[in-house]
Structure 1
Amino acid sequence: MSTNFGKITVVAKDGMTNLIRSIAAEKHEAGQPFYVLDLATIERLMDKWNHSFPNVKPFYAVKCNTEAALVTKLANLGANFDCASIHEIDTVLSLGISPNQIIFANPCKSISHIKHAAAVGVNLTTFDSKLEVDKIKKWHPKCHLLLRIKAPSASGSLRPMGKKFGVLPEEIEPLLHYACNVAGLKVVGVSFHVGSIAQDPTIYRQAIANARAVFDIAHYLGIPKMQILDIGGGFRSTPLFEEIASVVNEAVQDFFPDPNLKIIAEPGRFFPETAFTLVTHVIGKRVRGEKIEYWIDEGVYGSFRPTLYNSCFVVSNQFQ
């Protein structure tokens, strides 16, 4: 059984190869590439997540892939959502998903985006600067906040984010004091992101230890007890995932023995990376001795763009 969503075909059962062949045959003259989404893969990945992270709620990073069928499936499986823009928020809300299931996980937001979040009821966001506190105080004072701290290592992932977001250790105490005791906002937890495609599981342990220090500083300042730890993303469905989960689970037990702590994460590529199949047509061929060159109807300015900057891996299969 399949359903078409524009260029997306959603597969609910087996028969991927036959489905690809039939669609490719129909689209041969048009020469249009298309994607196939295997919903069974999404189900298996959610089972894998829940088994490895039984106490960590996934907030899918919508920026990774905004396909409505994917987002809807994840919502039905119990996921919440990490949005970083008005477009992503509206994409999720348009599918009937509650604003209470969204974290506005962008530490640097424009005023119009903050006002929009307030208007639609998205009441949890991240921050890492005094200016962000001032904007939220003025335009969304009911919003609850997570303090974004810098990841501990620049070499633990293929695309570190430490240069872009996160407070320095010496900035934590004054910023917490300003947000809570001066601006009167509610800081309810801590977030971090080790970067895209984590390579070293130990950076999660160090980041969790750093988050523990922030909780202790908040207690010292007399701030109401924080309740949320956001361990960010960096996950892929590879053997390393189980190792990362083991490190994270052990670190949480060591540094956060409180059973009432809410732990969330922001997995992105973990879900769609292996669930989507891109189908292209061979539109040209050239033979030069033993060398054979093929041209397809997609390229680096389309679906292959991530291969230029995002350390993506392409597995090729050929259908006759």
Structure 2
Amino acid sequence: MKVVEEEQRIRVMEGPWDAVSVIREIVESGQQEDPFYVFDLGEVVARYHKWKATMPRVEPFYAVKCNDDKLLLTTLAALGTGFDCASRAEIETVQQLGVRPERIIFANPAKMASHMRHAAAAGVRTVTFDSETELMKLKQYMPEAKLVIRIRCDAAEAQCPLGIKFGCDPVADAPRLLKLAAVLQLEVVGVSFHVGSGARETAVYARAIHFARALFDMGACVGHVGMRLVDLGGGFPGNHDTSIDEVAEVINEALELHFPERSVQVIAEPGRYFAAAAYTLAAVVHSKREVVSKLEDSDVAETSTMYYINDGVYGSFNCVLYDHQHVVAEPLREHDDEPLLPCSIWGPSCDSLDCVITDTRMPPLAVGEWLVFRDMGAYTLPVASPFNGFPVPRVRAVIDHGLWGIVKELWPLTEGHFMIGGRMTGPQREASPSPPPVLLEPHIPNGQQNHRALFVECALK
């Protein structure tokens, strides 16, 4: 007998559906008041296969910081990805799922001593560095580590530039650090870089791979004869209307030019590529007010509506502040032929900083209407907090029935983890302390499956 938590339930969908139709079904139950996400596992699976088809030499090591939802991590682990971890907690999280230490890169160039000791004890060996200080710490706490030197090579434009914080100069600093590592008898096995999260330039990958080749040759000259790893970092697009085809072409050509030998392992650290489009957020308008202001350099007054929703910048929309995201709101209800009027959208807290969208146009909304926000899986949930007493949105996971039949075989699950159930509706918090569902290992003979909606119960380990 196994008890499965409500948060781990995955609804298996039959027939035509999309994230918005799932949101509509939940909302129409009349029992949902708090904001919530719909997480489409099929989007993650599709993106994994797209990655493998377009960049077959590059192994994805998912950046856990982007979204540490355990169900997302479990799905990626089942597909075979590695993981880019930056802390002890992230290492513990993925290892609790059964991920082997060799599938983890400790990719924080400035690590805390206690985290280094934990990584060493956990068997994680591949780590990054970009300074003399870090080399000295590695000598003290992880002398058996396989070191990867992180260089700086910034994209001309990126959503979040990272070179201002991490990465040594590939010409002025990296050769000296390679020599120092050799003197300290530390093993450097590769080169890494990060062009910037949400990079908007593809040619930067070719420049960085060129630098990596030069450092491989330099490393061999100073004693690092076993260099065999190139880490392309992140920066890959993830929204539903983007593609990795262009960047994949640049990377594939650069790898063939500079690293034609297949003995060199190539990895990357995609985050938003896997997470962003898989999550769709729903939030409700709980209040509104009209404000009148004069247009700039004019005596003409304009009326604008301030809409208040039950999620904000201290919750899911922290991405507006920290990840520089431009979010787009869509009314869940159809507004045929209604005019688009000036408005702004605000979060629920009592802080004037809590503004989700400062200036946009939408049809007139009534209190109680729901808004949908797509591409909300990246750098949202991990930073969300219950500030001012407002709950962090719950995640409702779904997968298509046809895909479920394949994916479930990848997970360490038995038939006891599945049950037939009804609609996934109801409030975020239970109204009364009812007991959790108990599964009794149901047996469904082949060919006699009931084609009602199914729920997959995942025991996350």
Percent of pairs with identical residues: 43
1:143-222 to structure 2, matched below 5 A, reads 143-151=145-153, 153=154, 155-168=156-169, 169-180=171-182, 182-222=183-223
Aligned counterparts of 1:281 and 1:188: Cα–Cα separation in 2: 51
Counterpart in the other structure of 1:271: 274
The answer to whether the 8 Å contact 2:155/2:201 transfers is: no
1:27, distance to aligned residue in structure 2 (A):
7.2
The match for 2:326 is 313
Q: Distance in 1 between matches of 2:143 and 2:330?
A: 52
Q: Which AA in structure 2 matches 1:37?
A: F
Q: TM-score, normalised by structure 2?
A: 0.64
Written as runs of structure 1 = structure 2, the 5 A alignment for 1:96-107 is: 96-107=98-109
CA change 1:262–1:137 in 2 (3 A) is same
Query: More helix by proportion, 1 or 2?
Result: 1
What amino acid is aligned across from residue 218 of structure 2 in structure 1? Answer: I
Report the CA distance between 1:53 and its aligned residue.
0.9
Q: Supply the distance in 2 between the matched residues of 1:102 and 1:5 (Cα, whole angstroms).
A: 29
Deviation at 1:302, TM superposition (A): 1.0
Rate the CA distance shift 1:257–1:211 in 2: closer, same or farther, 3 A.
same
Tell me, yes or no, if the aligned pair for 2:155 and 2:199 is still in contact at 8 Å: no
Relative contact order higher in (CA < 8 Å, ≥ 6 apart): 2
Relative distance call for 1:133 and 1:32 in structure 2 (3 A) is: same
Work out whether residues 110 and 134 of structure 2, in 8 Å CA contact, stay in contact via their aligned partners in 1.
yes
Determine the C-alpha separation between the residues in 2 that align with 1:268 and 1:25: 33
Q: Aligned partners of 1:257, 1:66: CA distance in 2, in Å?
A: 35
Q: 1:139: which partner in 2?
A: 141
Counterpart mapping for 1:218-297 below 5 A = 218-237=219-238, 239=242, 241-286=244-289, 291-297=304-310
Q: What secondary structure is seen at the aligned counterpart in 2 of 1:232?
A: coil
Could you give the per-residue CA deviations for residues 257-308 of structure 1, whole angstroms, max 9, x where no partner exists? 1121100000011111000011112212345696444221011111111112
Q: For 1:233-267, what per-residue CA distance to the aligned partner results, in whole angstroms no more than 9, with x for missing partners?
A: 00013545211110011011111111211000000
Cα–Cα, structure 1 residues 27 and 34, in superposed 2: closer, same or farther, change >3 Å?
farther
Aligned equivalents of 1:309, 1:74: Cα separation in 2? 25
Q: Which runs of 5+ in 2 are unaligned?
A: 292-301, 334-461
Counterparts of 1:37 and 1:93 in 2: how far apart (Å)?
23
* Cα deviation, residue 315, structure 1: 3.3
Hey, what does 1:73 align to over in structure 2? 75
Cα distance in structure 2, aligned partners of 1:202 and 1:9:
42
CA contact (8 A) 1:33 1:297 kept: yes
Structure 1 230/5 Cα, relative in aligned 2: closer, same or farther at 3 Å? farther
**Equivalent residue letter for 1:120:** A
The letter for the 1-side match of 2:252 is N
Residues 10 and 69 in structure 1, CA contact (< 8 A), matched pair in contact too: no
Letter in 2 for 1:24: V
1:300 paired with 2:313, answer yes
Alpha-carbon spacing, 1:105–1:12, altered in 2? closer, same or farther (3 Å): farther
Q: How many residues align?
A: 314
Out of 157-166 and 192-201, give the one that drifted further: 157-166
CA contact (8 A) 1:10 1:36 kept: no
2:396 maps to what in 1? Answer: none
Cα distance change of structure 1 residues 17 and 201 upon mapping to structure 2, 3 Å threshold? closer
Structure having the higher Rg: 2
Counterpart of 2:36 in structure 1 is 34
Structure 2 SS opposite 1:273: helix
Q: Secondary structure at the match of 2:272?
A: coil
* Counterpart in the other structure of 2:454: none
Shift of 1:222: 2.9
Q: Quote the Cα distance in structure 1 between the aligned partners of 2:172 and 2:303.
A: 62
- Work out whether residues 156 and 203 of structure 1, in 8 Å CA contact, stay in contact via their aligned partners in 2: no
Q: Is contact 1:56–1:263 with CA below 8 Å preserved after alignment?
A: yes
| Matched residue type, 1:87 | A
**Distance (whole Å) between structure 2 residues aligned to residue 17 and residue 162 of structure 1:** 38
Deviation by residue 1:57-78 (Cα, 9 ceiling, x = unmatched): 0000000000000000011111
One-letter amino acid matched to 1:49: W
